[in-house]
Structure formats: structure tokens, C-alpha cells
């Protein structure tokens, strides 16, 4: 990947004129979102979740911008991500959410990275390394209070607490994860908060963490000592209802490769799933599902698809999204304002990442983490 610096902008990937689209990532907005969330969380500390390559936006630039905004604690999913993050941030505290892969304990120690231990085999392996190295080797412990994913049971958590004095490593954090925080009215939220509060009492003096983005925003009693926002940092919607208070971070513009006339009644795209209700002008955009523009965002005679903005006007996708091309209806855009080489905005100009996700039948998380590497990526600010 080439990198070019233009004033406050850094561009990676193909040159803009060579790419099918331009993905602009506003690191200033990212930093502002972190500062907003940190203020809301106080007096709890505020970490940042940067797994999945910084939610698809680039682990290095994202982490450095967050560190510049004052973040000192980060969560990734895999040791491979921790390796890259440590290279970018030599002094940050880094936790690996997916735990300890067998045989990787020594690498964690070398990187000064802490696994989130969620099973007895992980606990035993980490404790064995601590015993052999005669070091405290801090690590987090995940307790399953309802997700039924990674984590030890409530009973095992109490048994673990009773063994603390016998362990060779020192837990630096006890944590759990809310299953339904995006729906503040769901009764499971209160159940998990009460349960976790009771369990953390078995770990006096050890910081506790429960809240993700939605937990931070909607459940003040879930904040405990450390919050772990993810999607809200990147401008996505954390709660299923109400306004999204976060600043948008991404803007996606796709190159128009052709504008053509199509007659009323003719079909557009694979399988002839959509027929035009009028004589139309169609713009062909140079991106598709190979770039993370989901096939489900397309349209048919019975289904509306996503939209793009051209010259300030909303233009619906017509027909299926194919691997490398999308077609949109630009009939309502004056001919002089849309031509080959122009850009159509798929995310931005009033279309949020969650708006696009909804038209594709998915969520903003999935959209962000699938945005393709064939786009020219422009980092602004930071």
C-alpha cells in the first residue's frame, strides 16, 4: 500500500484516481467521540475497543488518534492484532478479548499484553507461566453473566476468587459483557448488572468492567471502574432507538464510470430482478460486494435498496449489487451535474453508516468491518 501525505491528510491504498472509490476517515471526529464518551463515563476510566483492524478503519491510525485523545487502555480480539498495536503504541495497556491460544502465553509476556482469560485451561496455562517466570503477569478474567460465550461461570468465578491467594499471577481486571444493552428496556440488562455487582464483591481491590458503548450510554450503573466503547467511537449507532449522539467518522464515495439511458420496462442487473417504471438515466458505480457493499443492499421490483447522493439528490440503487459494479437511478439529477468520473456518496451527506446498513438488512458494525481495501483511504486530522 502506498501512503501519500497532503497537508493534514494521509492517503493509503491505491491513488484516488485509480480506485473505484474513496473512503475518508475523520480521525478528528474519532478523537472527539472518545473525549465525549470519556466525559460521560467519568469517574470510570474509558478504554477503546480497536479489534477487527480498528473496526475496519485501520488499526494503526485509529489507535494513534485515540492515544492522542488521551486513551491509554485498548482491547483487541487476537494476539495478532495485539502485535500490531504494540508496534504502534509501545506503552499502552492492551487486552486480548479472545483469550489465550494454546502455546502463546510466552508471546503475551514478551509483548507485555494481557489475555482476557475465560476458562480454567487458560487460567491454568497463564498461572503456570507466571510460576515458571516468577513474575506476577497480570491478566483479565472474563465472567459469563448471560452472553454464553467466552467466560467462566458464576460458580467458577467464586471458586477462582477463593484461589486468588494461591495463584502466581495477579488479575488486573474482572469483566463481563452485556447481551442486550442496545435495548435499554430489556430486563436482562438489570439482571446482568446486579449479578456482576455481586460477583465483583469477591474480587476486592481489582477493577471491574462491564459496559460497552450501549452500556456506557444507557446504563450508568453498568460503568463500574472501566468502560469499553467500540461502535460509538466510530460514529455508529449503539442503541436501537433514539438519536445517535456520536459524530460520523466515515465517508464513502464511489466513482461513476458511465451514465447511460435505459428505457421504461427494461431490466437492470443480474437475474433481471428490477424493471424500470420510466425512461431513466442510470449511473454505473465502480464498487460492489467485493468491496463490502453488501449484495442485500440491492433492489428489485419488490424491494427498495440503499441510496447514494449525487449533486445533493438521493438516488436509489437499481437492481442487484454485483461484485464490482452498482447501478443507481440519476434521472432526477440534472444531466450537467452527473457525468463519468464524478463521485456518488454511499455513506455521508446525510446517509449514516447505520442508514446504509438498515437498507442492507444488517448493522453498522458489519458495514464498517467489511469496507474493502480497493478503496483509496484518506485519513483526515489526527
The catalytic residues are 51, 270
Are β-strands 9-12 and 3-6 bridged in parallel, bridged antiparallel, or unpaired? antiparallel
Helix, strand, or coil here: 105?
helix
Are β-strands 114-117 and 250-262 bridged in parallel, bridged antiparallel, or unpaired? unpaired
Helix, strand, or coil here: 137?
coil
Are β-strands 280-285 and 307-310 bridged in parallel, bridged antiparallel, or unpaired? unpaired
CA distance 46 to 375: 32
CA distance 116 to 108: 11
Residue whose cell numbers read 438498515: 358
Q: Which of 359, 372, 344, 355 is nearest to 248 (CA)?
A: 355
How many angstroms separate the Cα of 106 from the Cα of each of 88, 98, 100, 198?
20, 16, 10, 33
Amino acid at each position: 500500500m502506498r501512503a501519500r501525505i497532503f497537508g493534514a491528510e494521509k492517503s493509503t491504498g491505491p491513488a484516488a484516481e485509480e480506485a473505484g472509490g474513496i473512503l475518508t476517515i475523520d480521525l478528528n471526529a474519532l478523537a472527539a467521540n472518545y473525549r465525549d464518551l470519556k466525559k460521560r463515563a467519568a469517574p470510570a476510566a474509558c478504554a477503546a475497543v480497536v479489534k477487527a483492524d480498528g473496526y475496519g478503519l485501520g488499526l494503526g491510525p485509529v489507535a494513534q488518534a485515540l492515544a492522542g485523545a488521551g486513551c491509554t487502555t485498548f482491547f483487541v480480539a487476537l494476539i495478532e492484532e495485539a502485535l500490531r498495536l504494540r508496534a504502534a503504541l509501545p506503552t499502552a495497556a492492551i487486552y486480548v478479548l479472545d483469550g489465550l491460544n494454546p502455546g502463546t502465553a510466552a508471546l503475551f509476556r514478551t509483548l507485555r499484553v494481557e489475555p482476557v482469560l475465560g476458562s480454567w485451561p487458560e487460567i491454568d496455562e497463564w498461572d503456570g507461566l507466571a510460576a515458571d517466570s516468577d513474575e506476577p503477569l497480570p491478566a483479565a478474567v472474563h465472567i459469563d453473566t448471560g452472553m454464553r460465550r467466552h467466560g467462566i461461570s458464576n460458580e467458577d468465578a467464586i471458586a477462582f476468587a477463593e484461589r486468588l491467594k494461591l495463584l502466581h499471577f495477579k488479575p488486573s481486571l474482572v469483566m463481563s459483557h452485556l447481551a442486550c444493552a442496545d435495548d435499554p428496556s430489556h430486563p436482562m440488562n438489570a439482571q446482568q448488572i446486579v449479578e456482576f455487582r455481586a460477583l465483583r464483591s469477591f474480587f476486592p481491590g481489582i477493577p471491574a468492567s462491564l459496559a460497552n458503548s450501549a452500556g456506557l450510554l444507557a446504563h450508568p450503573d453498568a460503568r463500574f471502574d472501566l468502560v469499553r466503547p467500540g461502535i460509538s467511537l466510530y460514529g455508529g449507532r449503539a442503541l436501537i432507538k433514539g438519536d445517535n449522539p456520536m459524530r460520523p467518522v466515515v465517508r464513502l464515495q464511489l466513482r461513476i464510470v458511465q451514465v447511460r439511458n435505459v428505457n421504461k420496462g427494461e431490466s437492470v442487473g443480474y437475474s433481471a430482478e428490477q424493471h424500470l417504471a420510466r425512461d431513466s438515466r442510470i449511473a454505473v458505480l465502480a464498487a460492489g460486494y467485493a468491496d463490502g457493499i453488501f449484495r442485500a443492499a440491492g433492489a428489485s421490483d419488490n424491494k427498495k435498496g440503499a441510496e447514494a447522493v449525487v449533486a445533493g439528490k438521493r438516488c436509489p440503487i437499481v437492481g442487484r449489487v454485483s461484485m464490482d459494479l452498482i447501478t443507481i437511478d440519476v434521472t432526477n439529477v440534472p444531466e450537467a451535474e452527473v457525468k463519468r468520473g464524478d463521485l456518488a456518496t454511499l455513506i455521508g451527506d446525510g446517509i449514516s453508516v447505520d442508514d446504509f446498513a438498515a437498507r442492507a438488512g444488517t448493522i453498522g458494525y458489519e458495514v464498517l468491518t467489511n469496507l474493502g481495501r480497493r478503496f483509496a483511504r484518506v485519513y483526515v486530522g489526527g
